[in-house]
Amino acid sequence: MSHDITSNTVIVANQQQVTGDLPDGDIVILSLNGGVYYGLNSVGGHIWKFIQTPVIVKDIYNLLLNEYDVDAQECYTELIMLLEELAKNGLIQVKEAERLVS
């Protein structure tokens, strides 16, 4: 199932999980809703910590470009793939930016 995640999509971590930090910077996540166990490397873990409050995808992308020496297109493609995977497993909420405005 595609979640149509774009640079203007708002992402936030689902609060129905337990997370743990590993010494090497990796993060493990256990979804309390579906029992899904998921592991993220240190870059994924950095993203995970950043999305604990609602954030627009382009802000995550810009953060990664500023902190890592990575090709811009590859960064965007891999970010979207990660977010799609997290959404598929119910670990994040995907919202349109205008819905976030109160």
For residue 80, give every residue at least 6 positions away whose Cβ sits within 8 Å of its Cβ, in sequence order, or none.
5, 57
Looking at residue 97, its pLDDT comes to: 67
pLDDT of residue 1: 45
pLDDT in tens, 7-44: 999 999 988 888 888 888 789 998 887 777 889 998 99
Rounded to whole angstroms, how far apart are CA atoms 78 and 21?
Answer: 22
**What are the percentages of helix, strand and coil residues in the chain, rounded to 5?**
40, 25, 35
Structure tokens at 100: 């976030």
Across the beta sheet with 27-31, the strand order is 17-21, 27-31, 37-40
**pLDDT at position 64 over 70:** yes
Say which residue, 65 or 2, is predicted with more confidence: 65
pTM for this prediction: 0.85
Domains detected in the chain: 9-100 (3.90.930.60)
